[in-house]
Amino acid sequence: MAASRGPPLLGFRALALALLLAILLLLGCSAPAAYAGAEGVLRQVVGRRGDDGGGGNFFEPFNVTYDHRAVLIGGKRRMLVSAGLHYPRATSEMWPSLIAKCKEGGADVIETYVFWNGHEPAKGQYYFEERFDLVKFAKLVAAEGLFLFLRIGPYACAEWNFGGFPVWLRDIPGIEFRTDNEPFKAEMQTFVTKIVTLMKEEKLYSWQGGPIILQQIENEYGNIQGNYGQAGKRYMQWAAQMAIALDTGIPWVMCRQTDAPEEIIDTCNAFYCDGFKPNSYNKPTIWTEDWDGWYADWGGALPHRSAEDSAFAVARFYQRGGSLQNYYMYFGGTNFARTAGGPLQITSYDYDAPIDEYGILRQPKWGHLKDLHTAIKLCEPALIAVDGSPQYIKLGSMQEAHVYSTGEVHTNGSMAGNAQICSAFLANIDEHKYASVWIFGKSYSLPPWSVSILPDCENVAFNTARNLGLPVVQVDISLVSSHLHLEVRISQVLGGLPKRLLGILEHLNVTKDISDYLWYTTRVNISDADIAFWSSKGVLPSLTIDKIRDVARVFVNGKLAGSQVGHWVSLKQPIQLVEGLNELTLLSEIVGLQNYGAFLEKDGAGFRGQVTLTGLSDGDVDLTNSLWTYQVGLKGEFSMIYAPEKQGCAGWSRMQDSIPNHNKQMNAFDGLPANS
């Protein structure tokens, strides 16, 4: 792996910050000393630091509380930087290197969702191994001296299949997700309690000497709460009280929940959160999702957010009173197996994050943000010292300063020799023009859309728009390919049911989300009168399906006739039939279950409405209630041709150039379901 590549890429700006730190110490400024002392108290690792993170306490046990200004770690306010890193989106072998790179980049906290469908694949059957070994992950975080922000949910969204809900949940009679519904609340409470109990048993909460300092119940529920009316309000309040009753001893948060109860911290998720304030003066300002990139869809462009804009957003957040900010994502990773959400979201979750999908530092973003974090930490003593609002100075029509200090600062004069703790942020929110501003007896040049950070209210340690532009690191993919595992589990989920059934069954009711593929096959008898009718009219019959999602392929007598892609869109496909019996096969493909929105349990997959053969001599034929043969999965899944050691015996055939482009891709299916 490329962990050894990190140190040479710190950049000249990091050296400049180190030099500034030395200058501040020589000048007698107390800010660095105060910061170093706080870190020493909080990072006392007292347990074994093995590769598995096992053994004993990791910290001297400490309490976590909060006031209106910040989260309090061991009774002391902290300005915290958090790195989003979802443990199942990397192999467990990658975790130590990834966590170390988050720490090297300036993170204090690792944030992750907890993924219900990964941990409870079948009702009452729990899984905490390999990529889902949450305990091991938490201990590795602690072994690096970092804290953990656990977003239990258990709804995640996260561009994760079905938003993290297990598919078996939708089969419970009378269930409605995320509302005042007893069957759902019972299952949710059981799972959340399971996670909390496990964390307590493993002594992973802060008061036990563990790393967990924050946890989240629900997720962006405020976005959809209105769809459920008063039942939604009751559910939100129930979720909050259920979480509090678990007595975890640390704060709970709800993101994007403006009506969160007083005991729960409401937080911000957005590209910019510098204007966000919680719904109570008693709560600190927390940014749970700083979208430093975005996910990608099949066929879409790869989103990009510049390092400069991301740094600007973060600096503005702390400038205007923020106290904890979490990058979503700091490492995005990979949607292994069939975990990608949908519809049509790709298996890469690279997210344009500071650490790329393969665990390699993305320069210049990683280095630029690292320098930002160093500057913010230099300001921490001043930031936590101000109990109310900082001094605000208007410097121009689109320029402003916020000054944090232990005393009143006369901003017109020089700060030289001033013994008090003082840090300042100078912002130019004009997107196009440079600005020159006068403050502290000096002139400062501010690039467009930038923040300059002055840890001592005099020297500029960092400007968000000034990026040295470190080169992009090229990496040999062979170095990391051994860590990328595909996982597919296929079984005959039809169980004791006959394979031939009357009617069109709903896709998920048959597959139980074991495979993305479900074959439907029936037979149609065509008379000589039909053939004569089509010949005389110069037309072809058509197969129509009222609605499909996400992909439908139509095969006639073993040959691909056509396809349709979309989210509950109609299909109308002309087909070529012969006299006598014709085999009509439909292949339904899911490209990630819906992961966001209200009423997820009602979305489903496959086909809806009528399946009709139109244009026959005697009129249309409704095939919906015909006898259909069902088969789950593909031949390639059963034979595991995705495994490197199996690819040599996969029996690939050369494509013919005469095949139309839109059909080439489909021939990989060989036109037949497995065991048809």
CA angle 369, 372, 374 (to 5 degrees): 115
Residue by residue, DSSP assigns 331-352 as: E--B--TT-B-BTTB-SB--TT
CA distances from 178 to 157, 260, 594 (A): 13, 15, 15
586-596 residues labelled b (16+ CB within 10 A) or e (exposed): bbbbbbbbbbb
- On whether the CB atoms of residues 101 and 144 are closer than 8 A, the answer is no
**Furthest-apart CA pair in the chain: how many Å?**
102
Helices marked H in 27-155:
31-42, 95-104, 116-119, 134-143
Structure tokens at 167: 């598919």
Only one residue has tokens 């089509």, namely 534
CB atoms within 10 A of CB 631: 22
Q: Is 650 exposed, middle or buried (0-12, 13-18, 19+ CB in 10 A)?
A: middle
Q: Is 226 exposed, middle or buried (0-12, 13-18, 19+ CB in 10 A)?
A: exposed
- On whether the CB atoms of residues 367 and 10 are closer than 8 A, the answer is yes
CA distances from 489 to 166, 337, 357, 493, 636 (A): 15, 9, 24, 11, 12
44-68 residues labelled b (16+ CB within 10 A) or e (exposed): ebebebeeebeeebbbeebebebee
Amino acid at the residue 124: G
C-alpha–C-alpha distance, residues 309 and 292, integer Å: 9
Task: Give the 3-state secondary structure of residue 61.
Answer: coil
| Nearest one of 40, 43, 2 to 143, comparing CA atoms | 43
Fill in the DSSP letter of residue 503.
Answer: S
CB atoms within 10 A of CB 231: 15
| Nearest one of 31, 58, 30, 28 to 43, comparing CA atoms | 58
C-alpha–C-alpha distance, residues 245 and 249, integer Å: 10
CA distances from 329 to 178, 365, 490, 515 (A): 25, 12, 31, 28
Write out the catalytic residue numbers: 220, 289
